[in-house]
Amino acid sequence: MADLATEFANVEEITAAGDHQAAAVALKDLKQSVGQLADNVAAVPPLVTNLVKVFPEQLDEIQTSYQSLTKHNFHFPDIDIPAQIEQVQEQMAASDKAIAAMDLVQAQSDNQAAADAIDSMYAAMEREMTARRTVERDEAMVSRFIVHAQRQNHALIVELDHLNQSYTLNNGELQEAKDLREELVTLDRQHQADVQAVDDHTAVFSAVADHLNAATTRLRAIEERQVAINAAVSKLKDGEKSANLALKAQVTAMRAVQRSLDQLQLPGLPESYTDRLHHVQSEIDTIATALDQIKIDLDDINQQLVGLASDVSDLEDEGRALVDAVGMTAQLLQAANRYRDEHPEVADAARKSRALYNEYRYQEAADNLATALEEAVPGSYKRVEDAYLDSKDNV
């Protein structure tokens, strides 16, 4: 205010001296000073209102609430509310002095710091009250959930121990179940400590609520995993039955191929076929032995069954090719008999094919005679082939 009075006097002196340009500059400065004073005057009432009404009422409410909450066993380890109240009161006193000195920037800073501290105290108390409601709602539920999960885990381990006597558990199911058991023990230990702290009136409710929320989330995941493990291993017995049925089906397929060849009463079989047959028989014996063990590895057996199915399919293909070669050779020999007088080369080819046939080279026998017949009598091979295919369709 003193500075403002000085500026007024300065304007009057300059005006009286007749220096109109200097007077205009001084008047402009005076107007800015008056405007700043008006802004400061406008800013003071809200600051004062906070200091004389808003903050004191809030501090009284916080003090009363804090005393009530501590009597009802609330704890605030992360904030010292009585010390915070004293700090706010000091900030209020500093703000009051700053206002008196018209240092409104400092006054606003002190007011804001006080407001922030008051908000943090309210938030701390609200957090603990909300947490207590969570604890009262969920404590018993989590206790029951832990008991349920432990019973489920015990039953799972018993079942896995039993299955482990008969089946190789390749995915670490038993160890995983035991690891889950240890995790449940840890969860239960923490939960029991929290329950005891609540009973002893020493619990920090926000910490207990965090433990309950985390435990609930983890217990749900553990339950889902234990159900999944049980579902997976429960299929082992069915898997054993399926493996036996699959092996039986491959044995039947192998025997069907062999029976179709036996019916032809051949002088012998090609080495390539007998080697393949012996390999398939060896695979069958190996799988049958694996299935007959006290403890079986279904994953390994199923892999072997895939290989066996492929090899039996190849055996069937080769067996059908042999049947067709033998059948075509018979048909071609009949046709050769009709043309051997007119075409000596056909008779020679027939003799060679019979020799190949007796050496178990059935496809070569058929190909040799087919070539000779087609060269001697064009179109004859197609007629023989059609006749053979018709006879197959009619069987």
List, in order of start, the domains of the chain with CATH numbers.
2-131 (no CATH), 138-236 (1.20.1270), 242-393 (no CATH)
- Report the distance separating Cα 328 and Cα 46, nearest Å: 113
Average pLDDT along the chain: 89
Query: Which of the four pLDDT bands, split at 50, 70 and 90, describes residue 100?
Result: confident
Angle between helices 298-339 and 271-291 (to 10 degrees): 160
* pLDDT classification of 394: cutoffs 50, 70, 90: low
CA dihedral 243, 249, 255, 260 (to 10 degrees): -160
- Cα 87 to Cα 59, 111, 116, 138: the distances in Å are 11, 12, 12, 37
Is residue 32's pLDDT more than 60?
no
- 209 pLDDT band, cuts 50/70/90, is very high
- Residue 292 has phi, psi (to 5 degrees) of -90, 0
Phi, psi dihedral angles at 348 (to 5 degrees): -65, -40
Cα–Cα distance between 112 and 387 in angstroms, integer? 106
- What number is the average pLDDT over the span 342-352? 92
Per-residue pLDDT at 77 exceeds 50: yes
| Residues 357 and 329: beta-carbon distance below 8 Å | yes
Give backbone dihedrals phi and psi of 263, rounded to 5 degrees, phi first. -65, -20
- Name the pTM for this structure: 0.68
Number of Cβ atoms within 10 Å of the Cβ of 354:
15
